[in-house]
Chain A
Amino acid sequence: MADKSLIGRSLGITTSEVEKGRLRFFAKAIGETDPVYTDEEAAKAAGYKTLPVPPTFLLCLESEGRNPQAIVEDIMGFDLGRILHAEQEFVYHRMAFAGDVLTFDTRVADVYEKKGGALQFVVQETRITNQDGEHIADLRSSLVQR
Chain B
Amino acid sequence: MTLSRTHGPQFSDVQVGDVLPLLKLRPVDRTMLALYAGASGDHNQIHIDIDFARKARVPDVFAHGMLSAAYLGRLLTGWVPQQQIRKFSMRFVGITQIGHIPHLTGRIAEKFEADGEKRVRLEIQCANQYGEPKVVGEAVVALA
Chain A residues at the B interface, C-beta cutoff of 8 Å = 22, 25-26, 28-32, 34, 46-47, 52, 54-57, 59-60, 63-64, 68-69, 80-82, 84-92, 95, 140
**14 A-B contacts (beta carbon < 8 Å):** A31-B26, A46-B81, A55-B85, A56-B70, A56-B72, A56-B88, A60-B40, A60-B42, A81-B46, A81-B56, A84-B65, A85-B66, A86-B91, A92-B87
Which residues of chain B have C-beta atoms less than 8 A from A59's C-beta? 66
- Does the CB pair A85–B92 fall under 8 Å? yes
B7 contacts chain A at the CB level, 8 A cutoff: no
The one of B39, B53, B66, B82 in contact with A52, judged by C-beta atoms closer than 8 angstroms, is B82
Chain B interface main SS type: helix
- Interface with A: B9-17, B30-38, B106-114, B125-133, which one? B30-38
Q: How far is the CA of A68 from the CA of B73 in the complex (A)?
A: 23
- A145 CB → nearest B CB, Å: 12
- Does the CB pair A30–B74 fall under 8 Å? yes
Chain B residues at the A interface, C-beta cutoff of 8 Å = 25-26, 32, 35-36, 38-46, 52-53, 55-58, 65-67, 69-74, 76-78, 81-83, 85-92
Q: A84-B92, A85-B66 are in contact. Are A30 and B36 (CB under 8 A)?
A: yes
- Does the CB pair A89–B42 fall under 8 Å? no
Q: A55-B77, A63-B42, A86-B91 are in contact. Are A81 and B52 (CB under 8 A)?
A: yes
Which residues of chain A have C-beta atoms less than 8 A from B36's C-beta? 29-30
- Does the CB pair A90–B87 fall under 8 Å? yes
Known: A30-B39, A56-B88, A60-B42. 16 other contacts (CB 8 A): A22-B39, A26-B40, A29-B36, A29-B38, A29-B40, A30-B70, A30-B73, A54-B73, A55-B77, A56-B66, A64-B41, A88-B90, A89-B88, A90-B88, A91-B87, A140-B89
Q: A29-B39, A88-B69 are in contact. Are A54 and B89 (CB under 8 A)?
A: no
5 closest cross-chain pairs (CB), A and B: A81-B56, A29-B39, A89-B89, A55-B73, A29-B35
Closest A residue by C-beta to B70: A30
Closest A residue by C-beta to B90: A88
- B138 CB → nearest A CB, Å: 10
From B38, B39, B45, B65, name the one whose CB has the most chain A CB atoms within 10 angstroms. Answer: B39
- Does the CB pair B25–A55 fall under 8 Å? no
Which residues of chain A have C-beta atoms less than 8 A from B83's C-beta? 95
- Does the CB pair A25–B76 fall under 8 Å? no
Q: How far is the CA of A142 from the CA of B142 in the complex (A)?
A: 26
Q: How far is the CA of A86 from the CA of B73 in the complex (A)?
A: 17
- A44 CB → nearest B CB, Å: 14
- B84 CB → nearest A CB, Å: 10
